[in-house]
Structures are given as C-alpha cells and as structure tokens.
Structure 1
C-alpha cells in the first residue's frame, strides 16, 4: 500500500474526509481534511482539535509504515477549497467557483468570450444531464463575461448583469483541470475607527 492510501485510510478511519494530500521536495507532507458532507446536513467546520487529532494519528501510522517525511501539516480546506469529486460539485452548487479547463474554449464555442480561454469564474449550477455542470459566468473588471479576478462579496452572487443575457459554460468533470471555490472575503463587517458599538 502506498503512502497516499495510508494517509487516506487513516483520515477516513477517524471519520474525516481527505480533501487533498501533497508531498513537497523539502520533506513537507501537507494533508487537508474536512468533515464528510451529506445533503441537508448541518455544515460542520474543522477545528484545531480536529487537526491535532489527525496529526497525532498520522505521525504514529506513518512511523509504523516507514514513510519518510520531515514535517507534517494538517489543516482545513480554507476559502479556496479545491473541488475534486462529484460530491464536491453537488455540495457547492450555487457557489462562486474558479474553473480551469484542460483545453481552451474559443469564441466559436462560447459566444461573447475571448478565444483560447481556459480560466473562468462563475456560479456553479447542475446541468440538465447527470454528470454535466454549468457555470453562469460572472463579469470581470473589464466588463467581459467570465474569469474575472475582482472579488465578489457574496459566494452565491447572481450572474446576470444589467438585465443582460447570462453566459453559461457547460462542462463535464473530465474537461476540468482544476476547480476551486473563489476566494471571496467580505470585510463589510469591519467597523470604522472610532465607531461605537451598541450597548
């Protein structure tokens, strides 16, 4: 059994989901965990205690298995969580995601989008056919549809702009090189200096 399978079995055996595992040339072993997702279930978040629990168990198991590493990091997925499996797409339907395709799509295939484009940002939707997905493209800073890097406040922002038509990109998971939740940070809750808090 390879070290990846050892890590996955250990993480899932503790009741967590293995989101990602990465081994760097410098000996760093980075493990990303989350709680398993079920439709309709209450959202749970990974805590420091969860990371410590998995770290202790992995240290023991990796030593027994003779896996060579210098440092082990266990963490949560963060705001730019990767989407790797069908269940990830189901879980984050309606969220704003960044998708990188394996092959570029030109303007002939997607009206209104510049030719030879692989990177898109939009609201993730389920396609009409099982296994197919759609991305309602968001406008970028230049006003073109899709792939913008301007941060959005709401991860479930609407894709329509100024009452115009929404550009939709259809794709299957086989066509995706990488997909992640768009790293959206909302600082709206910060109060200006000197603002009073209610008593």
Structure 2
C-alpha cells in the first residue's frame, strides 16, 4: 500500500502546493468492505468545507489520468483537515509541537506501556523527550524516534 500512497503523493503534493495548502498526510485504508483514500490538508487559517471540495475535485481529476491505474480496488476519496489531533509526520510538525501536549504510540512497550501523553520538551534527530504527568508528579521520558509508531497533537481538557 505504501507504493500507492507514494504515487498519490507525487500527484497530490504539486496540487496542494499550487493551491497554497500543506499536504499533511495521505492514507489508503480498508474499512469494512470499502477502501478509502484520505488526503489531509491544512493552512494557517484552518480548512473549510469549500477548501476540501476544491482540492478533492482537482485531485480526483488528476488521479483519473494516471495510467496504469495504481489502485487495485475501487475507493472513496476523502479530503479533510487533520483536525485538532493532527498527526506529527514531518520534522517541521515536531518542531511546531515543541511545548505542546502530544500523544505517542510505540511499536513495543516501554515500562509496560505502548501509549504515552505529555508535553514535548525536546527533540533531536534520534529521540524526543516528553514531560509526563503521573498523578501528582511529573516525569521526563526520552523515546527513540525509531520506536515511535505514531505521534499526534493531543487535546488537553
């Protein structure tokens, strides 16, 4: 599936750049019996329904022109905002998240847990450090970036 995402990215990135949107992420996933191609876009002022419709129309047009068709299944195209819990994918995403609360999922447990949430305090090429609140105290933990399956901004209530 990653080759499909790569091919779609090659088509979508120039479109979003030209339209002054940031391409945040692309997913090609099966849910139930259906396949979905999800394109997540953003811009500083936020994304509107009109933005999504405009990008969807241009992306759909371009994807229909790819020969041979890279999609082995029929799919639904969805274009949307990454939402408040935006995924952290690029280095710039992590830099923008410094000082903010994030949620990470690990490939394997660290101290018996695979999911951590805390304030992103430091980021290096190979690791990131979170300040994690545990009951009445705060603990700093450093994680190897290669062991992080997913990272996203977290909403704090």
The TM-score range, normalised by the shorter chain, is: 0.7 to 0.9
Match in the other structure for 2:39:
31
Q: Distance in 2 between matches of 1:175 and 1:167?
A: 19
- Displacement after TM superposition at 1:49 (Å): 2.1
Question: With structure 1 as the length reference, what TM-score do the two structures score?
Answer: 0.64
Query: Secondary structure at the residue paired with 1:56?
Result: helix
TM-score (norm 2): 0.78
Partner of 2:3: none
After TM superposition, give the deviation of residue 80 of structure 1 in Å.
1.6
| Structure with the bigger percentage of strand | 2
Structure-2 separation of matches of 1:27 and 1:11: 22
What do you get for the CA RMSD once the two structures are aligned? 2.3
The answer as to 2:152 corresponding to 1:180 is yes
Displacement of 1:130 in angstroms is 5.6
The gaps in structure 1 that reach 5 residues or longer are 36-42, 107-115, 144-160, 187-199
Question: Counterparts in 2 of 1:112-191, with a 5 A limit?
Answer: 116-127=112-123, 132-139=127-134, 143=135, 161=136, 164=137, 166-184=138-156
Distance 2:150 2:29 in 1: 19
Unmatched runs of 5 consecutive residues or more in structure 2: 1-5
* Aligned-residue offset at 1:76: 0.2
The CA deviation at 1:4 is: 3.4
CA distance in 2, matches of 1:55, 1:7: 10
Bigger helix fraction? 2
Looking at CA atoms only, which structure, 1 or 2, has the larger radius of gyration?
1
